Structure 1
Amino acid sequence: MARYRGPRLRVVRRLGELPGLTRKSPKRAYPPGQHGQARKKRTEYAVRLEEKQKLRYNYGLTERQLLRYVRKARRASGSTGESLLQLLEMRLDNTVFRMGMAPTIPAARQLVNHGHVTVNGRVVDIPSFQCKPGMEIGVRDSDRSRKLVEENLQFPGLANLPSHLEFDKNKLTGKVNGVIDREWVALSINELLVVEYYSRQA
């Protein structure tokens, strides 16, 4: 299944606030479609599916990618749900977004894809690149790259910088100091339901 490229507010209306997908807020508080205002009794499967979709749309993943992350999280020690969120939060595109270098995760992915971001001084154009503690995230040494990031820094997607990151707005460089804590994950989600959803597949 391909990555979603359709109307973002439609997804937000259906799933609730997704800070990584868009900064806009919908005018209508009910889901889209002809039966959006009708109250429907949701099954347990529907609840789990909705939580999984939140994760997928917020981080801009394909179904195959998310399944791969779930399998990787299962192999890690500790809580599978927390490990899954940490893997997703430590992606390069999300790290760039959390540092304020891009207004949304799709914008951060584009910034990375176009070669504007460096890791430890080298250009990395893979959005799914896993950032590790000690890595330095910077902007490519070109006027165009610096101008893009400086414009984005005026209107960051999220106001608060997580405790595991630091960023110098003057030098346009940041550093990963550790792995993100669960409390700093901006998305409101029950990760255990996502793990339960994939329990038969992963």
Structure 2
Amino acid sequence: MARYTQAKCKLCRREGTKLFLKGDRCYTDKCAYEKRPYPPGHSGRMRHKMSDYAIQLREKQKVRRMYGILEGQFRDYYHRADGMKGVTGHNLLILLERRLDNVIFRLGYANSRDQARQLVRHGIFKMNGRRVNIPSMQVQPEDVIEVREEARKIPVINEAQEVIARRGCPEWLESDGANFKGTVKAMPSRDDIQFPINEQLIVELYSK
């Protein structure tokens, strides 16, 4: 499957905001976006007037890159959200939040969504007592996610647990770090997503 393999910090600079793609580094002074808060390239410092389409495209790319979703997958999520009751933009973000890899990242068992996705694929986690290896699985209220006992000494998982105190766990999730276990208390709402996203721009882009 195609994946972006270049410097991830360039994505944050291109989108003009932190996407938190490199875990704890994004919270320190070493963050490339803190040092160079302008787009990469020779003309990065130049001011460019953006069209309405460009603004919508950048918002879509920002969200897609933040969650680590390929273009085809992202479009499928939009169509699912559009067919659901309620506000399409809100539905889209909630579907993305309910991905298993995102939940593991939110619970503090990985330093980034990309790392969480890799750990899931290696079968590190169990959900409701069963081993899972599909990052895109949609979680439901009362689902219990835990690190398999034989994997609890993996350094990256323990490092991530130290970072969660600084990053915080959303209210719709409950983390039991001592037992390497997390519970989905409720469905996420739009208010639970604090990242600056204007989902209406994405809806306008795909509605054309």
TM norm structure 2: 0.90
1:98 and 1:158 in contact (8 A); partners too: no
Distance 1:173 1:49 in 2: 38
Match of 1:184 among 170, 186, 192: 192
Q: Which moved more, 1:94-103 or 1:175-184?
A: 175-184
Distance 1:158 1:85, change over 3 A: farther
Distance 1:121 1:19 in 2: 32
Q: Deviations over 1:101-126 (max 9, x none)?
A: 11110011111011101100111100
Matching residue of 1:39: 47
Offset of residue 187 of structure 1 = 2.5
Distance 1:86 1:157 in 2: 23
Q: Percent identity?
A: 42
Matching residue of 1:29: 37
2:16 and 2:38 in contact (8 A); partners too: no
1:135 and 1:175 in contact (8 A); partners too: yes
Q: Does the alignment pair 1:76 with 2:84?
A: yes
Q: Does the alignment pair 1:146 with 2:160?
A: no
Offset of residue 41 of structure 1 = 0.5
Matches within 5 A, 1:1-202: 2-23=2-23, 24=26, 25-26=31-32, 27-142=35-150, 145-148=151-154, 149-156=157-164, 159-200=167-208
1:20 and 1:58 in contact (8 A); partners too: yes
2:146 and 2:181 in contact (8 A); partners too: yes
Which of the two has greater helix per residue? 2
Offset of residue 17 of structure 1 = 2.8
TM norm structure 1: 0.93
Q: Which runs of 5+ in 2 are unaligned?
A: none
2:77 and 2:95 in contact (8 A); partners too: yes
Distance 2:166 2:7 in 1: 21
Q: Which runs of 5+ in 1 are unaligned?
A: none
Which consecutive aligned stretches of 4+ in structure 1 deviate over 6 angstroms post-superposition?
none
> What is the DSSP-based 3-state SS (H/G/I as helix, E as strand, rest coil) of the residue aligned with 2:179?
coil
Offset of residue 158 of structure 1 = 6.0
Offset of residue 147 of structure 1 = 1.4
Distance 1:31 1:104 in 2: 22
How many pairs are equivalent? 198
> What is the DSSP-based 3-state SS (H/G/I as helix, E as strand, rest coil) of the residue aligned with 2:175?
strand
RMSD, aligned α-carbons? 1.6
Q: Deviations over 1:56-98 (max 9, x none)?
A: 1100011000000000000111000000000000000000000
Distance 1:79 1:164 in 2: 20
Distance 1:155 1:72 in 2: 33
